[in-house]
Structure 1
Amino acid sequence: MRALVRGTGSIGARHLRVLESMGVDELYAWPVRKGTGSTERADIPSRTVFVDTYPNAPLDLIIIATDTVRHVDDALGAVEQNPRSVLLEKPVAPTVQQCRPLLDHPRASIVSVSAPLRFHDGYVELAQLLEQEGTPTSAQIVSQSWLPSWRPGRDYRQSYSARSDEGGALRDLVHDIDYPLALLGTPDTVVARLGRGVLGIEAEESADLLWHSSGKEHPLAVSVRLDYVSPVKKREIRIATAHSALSWNVVTNSVIVERPGSVPELSVHPGDGDVDNVLARQSGTLLQRVGVVVDGLRHEYNAASLQAGVLAVAVCDAARLSDRTRRGETVVL
C-alpha cells in the first residue's frame, strides 16, 4: 500500500500515524508550510517521506487535511494524480458554490469526505435499530464542547475556527449534521439562529437549527444544537419512533433503547472511544473498496460520498441564510 497525506497539522499527523499502524508500506507527507521535516515532528512517524510534490509512484490513497479554504483546490490536484481513492477532510468547502468545481470533475466519484462518526459501532447499531423500530417522529441532536481546549498551547482566536470565512460552529461541527442527514434524510426547510459573544471570535460560536422534512410516512422535525462554548462535553442524538426512543451517546459510546413498560436496553461500544481506531476503520473501508485487503472491517461501515459532504455544507449555507433572513430557508445544492 502507498498513501500520501497533504497537510501535516494535528489532523494530518494523526492520519499519518493511523496509516502507519495499518501497515501502509510507503507513507508520504506533503506539508503546506515548507521546512517542516520529520526531525521536527515527534507526532509524525519517523519513516514518513516528506515531499513537496506528488511522487511518481501510483498512490492507493491521498488524504487532504489542509485548511478548509484550500480543500477544493487541493482535492482537485489530488484527483488529477489518478489515485485509487481520495479522502477529503471536512467540510468540503466553506460554501456549496465553492464545492462546484470538485463536484463537476469527471473523477469526483473517487472522493469521499471524512465522516468518522459513521464508523462508530454505536452509529451502526443505531441505524439498524432505526430500521427495526419504524419511522421516526422526531429527533434531537446535541454537540457541545469548549473551543479553547481543542488545541492546547495554541490561541484559539488565531485558528481557522475563529475566522468567519472558513470556521464557526456550523463548519467545525459538521459531522453532527452529516450523520443525522444519513439517518433521517434531507430537510425541506431549515430555520436557524446563530450565537456569538462568549469567546470573542468573528465566526459563530453556536448554532440552533430546526429542520423539517416530509419523511417517509409523515413530516419529521429535527432539532440540532451545536456549540463550542460548553466546557462540559455533550454529544448525542435521541430519536423517537411510534414504538420506542433510541439514544446514542458519543461521549459514553453507548446506545439505549427505551420502550413503554420495559427496562431500557443498554449496549456499550468501547472501541469507539479510540479515535485512531475509528479513523483506521474509515481509511480501511476506502482501501478495501478499491481492492486492498483490510482485515477486521464490518460490511456495515459506509464512507460519506462527496455528494453527502456537499449536502452537509448546503445545510450550513441554509442555516446562515436563515439567521440573516429570520425565516425558514430551503437547502440548495
Structure 2
Amino acid sequence: MRVLVIGAGSIGQRHHDNLAALGAIPRLLSWRAGGLVAAEAAMDQADAVVVATATDIRLPLIAAAAARDLPFYVEKPLAFRPDEVEAIAEAAAPVATRSMLGYMMRYHPAVQALAADGLDDVFQFALTIGHDVTQWRQNWRFSESYAARAEGGGVLLDLCHELDIALTLFPGLEILSVESLGHPAFPGVDFASRISLRRGGLVGDVSMDYLTPGLHRRAHLRGSERMQDFDLAAQVYRVTEPGGTRQLDLPLERNAMFLAAMRDFLALAFGGKVSDNPLLPRLNLCLPSARLVARAWAARRFIGEIAKEIP
C-alpha cells in the first residue's frame, strides 16, 4: 500500500505518521520540492494519494490522481469557488467512491451521537468554534501561512468542519446570509464569520473566529422534545428532556479521529472493509458539504474590521 502524501506541513506529517502506524508505506512530498511536475512523477510510483496542500492547488493534483485511477484523500475544504468544486467533482468522478474528503469530525463521538438522535423536533441550532490564531502553534506566524491569503484563506475555510456538521445533521440547509469581519492588514481575509442557515421551519447559525482567547467548540440544538448542549472542547455533553438533564459520556482522543479516517481511506482504496460509521466522508457523499462551504465563502459580506494585531 504505497501512499503518496503531498504537503509536508503539520497535517501532512500527521497523515504520513498515521499511515505508517496503520501498515501502509507512505512517502511525504513537499509541494515546494517541485510542484505539479514532481507530484505527478511521484504519483507514478504510488497506489493512492493524500492531498494536504493549500486549497488553491487541489484541482490539478486531484485531476492527475484520478487520471491515473488513484484514489485520494483530500484535506478540507475541497475548494473555495463553486465552479472549482464542480470541476473537481467532474475530474474525480472515476475514483470518487474510493476517495475521501477530510471531514474527520464525522468520526467525533459527539457528532455521531447527535446524528443518531433523531433531530426532527429541532427548530433552532447554533454551532460555534474559535481560538486566537496567534496562539495556534509555536514558531508559527499567521501572516506566513496559507490562511492569510485572500484566495483560499480565512476562518470560514479554515474551520469549515462546523458547516459540514450542520449539513450532516440537517440535510438541505440553504444559506441566508454570511457576515464577516476583516482586518486592514489582510484584505479579503475573514477573521470572524457567521453563516445564517435555513431549512423550512428550521433556522440556525454557524460561527467561527480567529479571535477568542481560549478554544471554544460548541453545539446547541433546541427542539420541542429535548435540548442538546454539547461543549466539544471541554467534552461535556448535556441533554435536557422533560424528565430532567442527563450527561453523555463520550470520551475522545483527537488523533483517534484521524486514525479512523485514514483506516477507512485505506479500506476504500485497497478493497478492504470500511468501518460502520454512518457518516463516512466518502468524496461522492461529501459534495453537498463542499458546495455549501464554497457558496458560503462566495457569499461573505464584510461588515467591519478588527483591530487586534496579527503577526
Band of TM-score, shorter chain: 0.7 to 0.9
Whole-angstrom distance in 1 between the partners of 2:4 and 2:160: 24
1:1-333 to 2 correspondences below 5 Å: 1-24=1-24, 26-34=25-33, 53-54=41-42, 56-57=44-45, 59=47, 61-83=48-70, 85-105=71-91, 106-109=93-96, 110-129=98-117, 131=118, 134-197=120-183, 200-202=185-187, 203-214=189-200, 219-262=201-244, 264-270=245-251, 272-274=252-254, 276-290=255-269, 292-293=271-272, 297-306=275-284, 308-309=286-287, 311-318=289-296, 320-321=298-299, 323=301
Distance 1:73 1:57, change over 3 A: closer
- Name the counterpart of 1:329: none
Contact 2:89-2:287 within 8 A present in 1 as well? no
How far apart are the structure 1 equivalents of 2:59 and 2:33?
20
Aligned equivalents of 1:306 and 1:227: distance in 2?
29
Q: Distance in 2 between matches of 1:18 and 1:99?
A: 27
Distance of 1:125 and 1:144 partners within structure 2: 22
Query: What displacement does 1:117 show?
Result: 0.4
Q: TM-score, normalised by structure 2?
A: 0.86
1:86: Cα distance to partner? 1.0
Give me the whole-angstrom Cα distance separating, in 1, the residues matched to 2:20 and 2:297. 39
Cα distance in 2 for partners of 1:320, 1:55 equals 32
Contact 2:5 2:28 in 1 (8 A): yes
- Report Cα offsets for 1:160-218 as digits up to 9, x if no partner: 11111110111111111111111112223321210123x8433110001211112xxxx
Aligned-pair CA distance for 1:313: 4.4
The alpha-carbon distance between structure 1 residues 55 and 70, as it changes in their structure 2 partners (threshold 3 A), is closer
CA distance in 2, matches of 1:258, 1:304: 33
Q: 1:307 to 1:55 in 2, by over 3 A?
A: closer
In structure 1, runs of 5+ residues without a counterpart are 36-49, 326-333
Q: Matched residues, percent identical?
A: 19
Question: What amino acid maps onto 1:252 in structure 2?
Answer: A
> Could you say what the CA RMSD is over the residues aligned between the two structures, in angstroms?
2.6
Question: Alpha carbons of 1:315 and 1:6: their partners in 2 closer, same or farther (altered >3 Å)?
Answer: closer
- Give the Cα separation in 1 of the matches to 2:260 and 2:295: 30
User: Would you say how many aligned residue pairs link Structure 1 and Structure 2?
Assistant: 297
Over residues 277-314 of structure 1, what are the superposed CA-to-partner deviations in whole Å (9 max), with x where a residue is unaligned? 1111011122223555479x444351153462464443
CA contact (8 A) 1:194 1:204 kept: yes
Give 1:249 deviation, angstroms: 2.3
Query: What are the ranges of 5 or more consecutive residues in structure 2 without an aligned counterpart?
Result: 304-311
> How far apart, in 1, do the equivalents of 2:175 and 2:258 lie?
32
TM-score normalized by structure 1? Answer: 0.81
Identify the range of structure 1 (231-240 vs 314-323) with the bigger mean alpha-carbon deviation.
314-323
From the superposition, tell whether residues 156 and 247 of structure 1 become closer, same or farther in structure 2 (CA, over 3 Å): same
